[in-house]
Amino acid sequence: MSEEVEPSAHQGRRADEPSTQGERRLDPRASVLVVEDEHELRELIARWLESRSYRVVEAADGRDAVELLQAGLEPDVILLDLTMPRMDGRAFLEWLRSDPKHQNRPVIVASAYLEDEPPLDAERTFAKPFRPDLLERELSRLVSGD
């Protein structure tokens, strides 16, 4: 089942303070919906995003993601796997782009099974395994509206 995850603590440093290691900290209100059926991977991605000041909501498949969005969730970005049970990523993207409330919501597809043609309705695609620094750069770009 889906669960909302709260941002982790920053060991005495506020999210808006500059990092001593030169890391860029994002607006702590930026949120990502992680739609991934592999529980361990979903948890790993969520914890990693939280360590970078994102608020994270998790969904185990496209159907869970639809339910969260219909219940009022408005994430800044959706990180989406393609191959999932019940409702796969392509069906979720089709639903998302047909819904006037969510059709312009940014989506990053991350999948081990990217076909010759990446989904046209996604702002970016990453083949799994992907480099976290590239994901972070793309999330930052999408959240900032660049």
**CATH at 92:** 3.40.50.2300
pLDDT at residue number 131: 86
> Does 15 map to a domain?
no
Residue 9 has pLDDT above 60, yes or no: no
Q: Is the pTM of this model over 0.95?
A: no
Mind listing the pLDDT tens digit for each residue in 67-109?
A: 999 999 999 999 999 999 999 999 999 999 999 999 999 999 9
Which pLDDT band holds residue 119 (cuts at 50, 70, 90)?
low
Which pLDDT band holds residue 117 (cuts at 50, 70, 90)?
low
Helices H / strands E in the chain, number of each: 4, 6
Cα distance between residue 107 and residue 54, in whole Å: 16
Cα distance between residue 104 and residue 12, in whole Å: 37
> Does 14 map to a domain?
no
> Does 58 map to a domain?
yes
Query: If you write DSSP's letter for every residue of 39-52 in order, what string do you get?
Result: HHHHHHHHHHHHTT
Residue 23 has pLDDT above 50, yes or no: no
> Does 65 map to a domain?
yes
Segments of 49-116 assigned E as strands: 55-59, 77-80, 107-111
